[in-house]
Amino acid sequence: MANRRALSWSAAMRDIETDRSRRSDVREERLRSAMNLRGTPALALSAWRGRSGRRYVVGIHGLDADPAEIGEAVVLAVRRDGGGIAELLDVATTGDSPRERLRGFVTRMRTRGATEMHVHRLAESEAERRAVVEDLGGAPVSRSVRTTKREP
């Protein structure tokens, strides 16, 4: 009386392929941050995985965040549903004058249902920021704050 389970490799591989096709190309991967590490409040962090497989760590901000504090960065407009699942609405770069450029971007994203703004500050040059936008947004960007439309 052997307790053996027959494994069908073709069925297992088909299940793995189906699971991959169900996942979005670009997706959020939530990060855990240490609460009250040495007396400081925890940072609201997350990460996004681009089409290339690269991971981009972002700080999570409300839509009312001060653009002057953001500086030169890549900004992601995100809509989070009641279950906590994030949907990427649009991606843009702030350029060297974020206040003027972000004002219109945030207004447009509010009308599309954005609830959060995710900010990636680790891209140092304009070319690196454009590459991040292309990886997350899909379309090439010629100058800052040109956005890629991702309809819901």
What CA–CA distances, in Å, run from 145 to 5, 43, 65, 140?
56, 26, 17, 12
- pLDDT for 54: 92
The better pLDDT of the pair 27, 9 is held by 27
Residue 102, classified by CB atoms within 10 Å of its CB into exposed (0-12), middle (13-18) or buried (19+), is buried
- pLDDT for 137: 83
Residues present in the chain in total:
152
pLDDT in tens, 61-94: 998 888 778 888 999 999 998 888 899 999 998 8
pLDDT in tens, 35-62: 555 666 667 899 999 988 899 999 999 9
Give the predicted TM-score (pTM) of the model.
0.70
Contacts of 133 (CB under 8 A, 6+ apart): 74, 91, 92, 93, 141, 148
- pLDDT for 17: 66
Given a cut of 70, whether residue 142 has pLDDT beyond it is no
Domain layout of the chain by residue ranges: 26-137
- pLDDT for 55: 94
SS3 57: strand
What CA–CA distances, in Å, run from 115 to 51, 65, 135, 141?
23, 12, 22, 24
Q: What is the mean pLDDT of the chain?
A: 78
- Calpha distance 133→74 (Å, rounded): 7
- Calpha distance 35→100 (Å, rounded): 34
